Each structure stands twice: as C-alpha cells, then as structure tokens.
A and B are shown apart, each in its own frame.
Chain A
Amino acid sequence: MSKLKRQLLAGPYILWMAGFILLPIAMVLYYAFTTTSGSFTFLNVTSITFSVHLKALALSLKLALLCTIICLVLSYPLAMILNHMKTKSQGFIVFIFILPMWMNFMLRILAWRMLLSNNGIINSLLGTLGLPAIDILNTPTAVVFCMVYDFLPFMILPIYNAMTRIQTDIIEAAKDLGAGNITIFFKITVPLTMSGVISGIIMVFVPALTSFAISDLLGGGKVLLIGNVIEQAFMQEYNWNLGSGLSFVLMIFVIASMALMNSRGDDQGAGVL
C-alpha cells in the first residue's frame, strides 16, 4: 500500500472530527457572538463581568486552584514512595492508587456526599469521639474535598510515570558527583518530573475549574461555580447565546491555563496523556 493510500485511511476520522468536534465548537462561537435574533453582539461574552458571573468565575478559580495544590502536595510524596517501593507487588499497589480514577464519576460523588451528610459516618465517628459534628455539606469546603477525591489519581499517575522514567544511573551519577539527597531531589528529581507535574496540574485544574456536577450535588445550590452558571443557562433558562458566551470565556481560561503551564518547561515532550 502506498503512503498516500495509507494516509487516506485517516479520512473517515478527519470527516468525523470536522463534523463532531470542529463544527460544534464553531457553533459555540456562533452562538456566543450573536443575539437570539442572529445579529452580532459582544454582550454574551462581556456578561462575564456581571457580578454574579464574576463571583462564580472567581470562586471556580479559587476552588480549582485549591484543589490542584492539595492534589499536588498529596501526590508528589505518594508518587515518590510508590516509585521507591521495590517489591514484587509494586505494580498492583500503584494500580490500587490509580483505580478510583476509573470508577464512575457520579458514584464517587455519591460516596462522598453520603460520608459528609449530617447523619453520615464522619459525624457519627466524631460524635463517638466526643467531638462536635462538622456541617460542611453544602459548603465550598465539601466541594473541594470531593474534587480532591475525584481528581487525585489524575495527579498521582503522571507524576508517578515521570518518576519511573528517571533511570537509576542518573541518580547514581548525581551521587557519584557528590550530590546529597536534598540536591538530588531539587536538581534531578523535580526537574525531571516537571513534565509529569504539569500534566497532572492540567488534568486536575481543568476539570476542577469546569465541573458543575460536584458543586451541584454537594453544594446544595449554595455553591455557584461558572460551570453551574453555564449549565443553568442552557438547561433551565434556555439562553444558549449567554451559555455559549460564558463557555467561550471558560474555554479561554482553560487554554490560557494550559498555555501557561506548558510554557513552564515541558522539555520532556510528554503530552498530557
């Protein structure tokens, strides 16, 4: 088969992509910049400056950032410990820590909501210990907890994978040249896992920033994120132009955060996956 003929095999996929990825995004752009009657406008996009929307966006950024930082702080030592573990069962143990990532998203929210509810396990445990009950369901705290719970494996995996790619002789070479553990950590391990960290940050930050289901189900309608605003614009107010305009703003934020992260030295060429 000639090269050209083989390239044609990608044809169906290219058509599919054009029809179901590019065209839909074009439609978002179209709705974002038109009024209901079809005339051009910036209003949908600029409506992000309405105080309700702005507050939702700010809260989304804050919670997503918080979630990302917590995930990073929890994951990095974990990945190091997993990487150092040289037992036969290492593969399985790593698997155990990655597994929750594949469990149904809704299921994970359900589990967390049940734990946090007023008459749930956590409060009854606190009760038996004689501690005051916490009432964090329907607060941003609960949302962040659940986000961390949901997205933690997405941080663990790329960092762990980046660590396993560091050859032991690189570490030995550093020791040989006089480096102690701290120097090795900052000069070798951290820079060589940076691509994994960046992948992890993107994979946690983007879904956290854009999620609406977690805040919807754990925020009790009191935690309004930008995702919720968009969802409501589409599914409750049927204002597609406004929803598209805000989606456009969200896309800009996602792209900007990725560009920002990728500019921070993704020298290993490791993609997000």
Chain B
Amino acid sequence: MIRKSAERVYLFLIFLFLYLPIGVLIVLSFNNSKSKVVWGGFTLNWYKKLFSNSAVMEAFYTTIFISLASAAIATLLGVLAALGIDAMKKHGQAVMLGATNIPLLNADIVTGISMMLLFVRFTRLGMNTVLIAHITFNIPYVILNVLPKLKQSSHTAYEAALDLGATPLYAFRKIVWPQILPGVLSGFLMAMTMSLDDFSVTYFTKGAGINTLSTIIYTEMRKGIRPEMYALSTILFLIAFILLLFMNFGPTARKEIQL
C-alpha cells in the first residue's frame, strides 16, 4: 500500500516536471497581461496578434510545406529502399543499415554543418536546401518503420500469389503492400514529426530569407519572449499531441510505444 502510494507520487512528480512548463505556457497564451505570474483575465489577443504577424505566418506555412513535402518524398525513397534492402543478402543489409543509422546517430549540429558546407559549395541556401536536408534525415525513420513490417510479412504468401497466377506487381499490390502499409503510414507520420521538431539542421541549411517555426522562435527568444510565442507554442503542442495520438492509438498503431 505504502509502495503503491510512493509509486503514484513519483509518477505524479515526473508528470509535473514534464507538463508544468507546457501547462504554464498554455495558460499564459490566454492571459490578458504581459506578466508571467499575474492572471489578467482571458483573452485571445495573443492569438490574433500571432495570426497578424506575417513573418510568423510565413514561417508557419514554410514549416507545414517542408514537413509534408519532406515526409512524402522521404516515404517514397524510404519504401523503395526498404524493399531493396529486404532483397539483399545479410552482409549487404548490414552495410545499408549501418549507413542508414549515420544521420540518426550523428550529432544534429554536425549533420547540419556538413550539409551546409555542401550546399554552399554548389548552390544557394534556401527552401530547397532545407527540404533536401529534411528528406535526408527523414528517410531513415521511414526505412526503420517499413523494414520490420517487410520482414514480418510472409514471403510464402507473396510466392503463393505468384503461384496462383498473379503478376509480381499485382502480387505486391495485393499481398505485400497491405502488410507494410501500417509501417509506411507510421514512417510518414514520424518523418513529419521529426521535420516539425527540427531546429539544428534547419538552422544551418536555411539561409537568410526563410524561417521555420523552430528558427523563428529561436530568433524571437534571443530578443526576448513575447506572449505571441506562447500562443504559437500552444498551437504547436496541440498539433504534436494530435499527430501522436493518431500514431499511437490510430489504425496504424504498433504494440510498442513509438519513438
């Protein structure tokens, strides 16, 4: 009994540690006062201000575009890659997976810098370079979501389909694709979330003209915190919450909690 209560208290303390900061942010986004402590009544002013701030809105659109586009392209490349890797021999698979892990394990700052060096050499920094960078760090998440599904999917079922007269493409569409679809979807969602979350790589590859939400919050924060940022944070939090709820409890959910 004592142990149970102690466990509860512990859970609650960690919960507070994790959520109090965000909770305060959300409350302050509706606070009709610039103070961080005093409640000045409910207001949507900060949201209005946020939506009328063209720089922020532009960053918002850029972020959405980059995350959707990079996730889509990464999913396409990643699914193809997973299919290819799955057909490789053990040694080839190990090499490919090792290489796939590089962007996951490498420090973000080094990934960002290395790509910046490349881009500056051959082109100009801008939307395209951010997009390429995001695709690059997104592909591994797609592969790591799809490959296990491919391994689980039964090769004999695919062969049975061929045996029953299906063309390889038809067999893929009717047999393999439905089995890996959950992995493809969760790979896509994960890629999107990683892209939304990224700061370091974007920071080094974006050039002067454009901003994503992460980089604009960074710039704003260096100047000091304005309450619009609370409103922006609240919106970002809700987007992440809904995406994740869908990822973990939606139709594509895996048994283990997603990374």
Complex-state Cα separation, A124 to B35, whole angstroms = 11
Min C-beta distance of B57 to chain A, whole Å: 17
Min C-beta distance of B201 to chain A, whole Å: 11
Which of B41-49, B177-185, B215-223 has 4 or more CB atoms under 8 Å from chain A?
B215-223
* Chain A hits for B36, CB < 8 A: 114, 117, 119-121
**A236: Cβ under 8 A from any B Cβ:** no
* Chain A hits for B241, CB < 8 A: 99
- Report whether B110 and A16 are in contact in the complex, using a CB–CB cutoff of 8 Å: no
Instruction: Annotate A1-27 by CB proximity to B: 1 below 8 A, 0 otherwise.
Output: 101101111111110110011111101
In this complex, what residue of B is CB-closest to A234?
B113
Within 8 A of A (CB), among B99-129: 99-111, 113-118, 121
Which of A44-52, A103-111, A186-194 has 4 or more CB atoms under 8 Å from chain B?
A103-111
With A20-B118, A114-B225 as given contacts, are A78 and B84 in contact (CB-CB < 8 Å)? Answer: no
Taking a contact as CB atoms closer than 8 A, the residue among A95, A107, A273 that contacts B233 in the complex is: A107
- Report whether A78 and B14 are in contact in the complex, using a CB–CB cutoff of 8 Å: yes
* Chain A hits for B121, CB < 8 A: 27
- Report whether B87 and A7 are in contact in the complex, using a CB–CB cutoff of 8 Å: yes
Chain A interface mostly helix, strand, loop or mixed?
Answer: helix
With A102-B240, A104-B196 as given contacts, are A115 and B96 in contact (CB-CB < 8 Å)? Answer: no
**B71: Cβ under 8 A from any A Cβ:** no
Complex-state Cα separation, A131 to B88, whole angstroms = 65
**B193: Cβ under 8 A from any A Cβ:** yes
- Report whether B221 and A120 are in contact in the complex, using a CB–CB cutoff of 8 Å: no
Min C-beta distance of A165 to chain B, whole Å: 9
Complex-state Cα separation, A62 to B76, whole angstroms = 41
In this complex, what residue of B is CB-closest to A148?
B17
Complex-state Cα separation, A6 to B89, whole angstroms = 12
Taking a contact as CB atoms closer than 8 A, the residue among A77, A96, A100, A104 that contacts B236 in the complex is: A104
* Chain B hits for A92, CB < 8 A: 249
Complex-state Cα separation, A46 to B53, whole angstroms = 46
Chain B interface mostly helix, strand, loop or mixed?
Answer: helix
**A161: Cβ under 8 A from any B Cβ:** yes
* Chain A hits for B107, CB < 8 A: 206-207, 209-210, 250-251, 254
Complex-state Cα separation, A251 to B113, whole angstroms = 12
- Report whether B193 and A24 are in contact in the complex, using a CB–CB cutoff of 8 Å: no
Complex-state Cα separation, A120 to B37, whole angstroms = 6
**B85: Cβ under 8 A from any A Cβ:** yes
Interface size classification for chain B: 35 or more
Complex-state Cα separation, A24 to B214, whole angstroms = 23
- Report whether B18 and A213 are in contact in the complex, using a CB–CB cutoff of 8 Å: no
- Report whether A160 and B18 are in contact in the complex, using a CB–CB cutoff of 8 Å: no
Complex-state Cα separation, A121 to B236, whole angstroms = 22
Taking a contact as CB atoms closer than 8 A, the residue among B78, B108, B237 that contacts A103 in the complex is: B237
Complex-state Cα separation, A157 to B105, whole angstroms = 17
* Chain B hits for A109, CB < 8 A: 221
With A97-B18, A271-B101 as given contacts, are A10 and B109 in contact (CB-CB < 8 Å)? Answer: no
* Chain A hits for B100, CB < 8 A: 17
* Chain A hits for B99, CB < 8 A: 17, 21-22
* Chain B hits for A74, CB < 8 A: 14
- Report whether A13 and B77 are in contact in the complex, using a CB–CB cutoff of 8 Å: yes
In this complex, what residue of A is CB-closest to B248?
A95
- Report whether B117 and A31 are in contact in the complex, using a CB–CB cutoff of 8 Å: yes
Instruction: Annotate A73-103 by CB proximity to B: 1 below 8 A, 0 otherwise.
Output: 0100110011010000001111111111111
Interface residues of A (CB under 8 A from B): 1, 3-4, 6-14, 16-17, 20-25, 27-28, 31, 74, 77-78, 81-82, 84, 91-115, 117, 119-121, 124, 149, 152-153, 157, 160-161, 164, 202, 206-207, 209-213, 216-217, 227, 230-231, 234-235, 240, 243-244, 247, 250-251, 254, 258, 271-273
Q: Which 9 A-B pairs have the closest CB atoms?
A: A10-B84, A24-B114, A13-B81, A210-B107, A111-B21, A6-B87, A9-B84, A106-B217, A27-B117
6 contacts between A and B (CB under 8 A): A7-B87, A9-B81, A28-B117, A81-B11, A104-B217, A105-B199
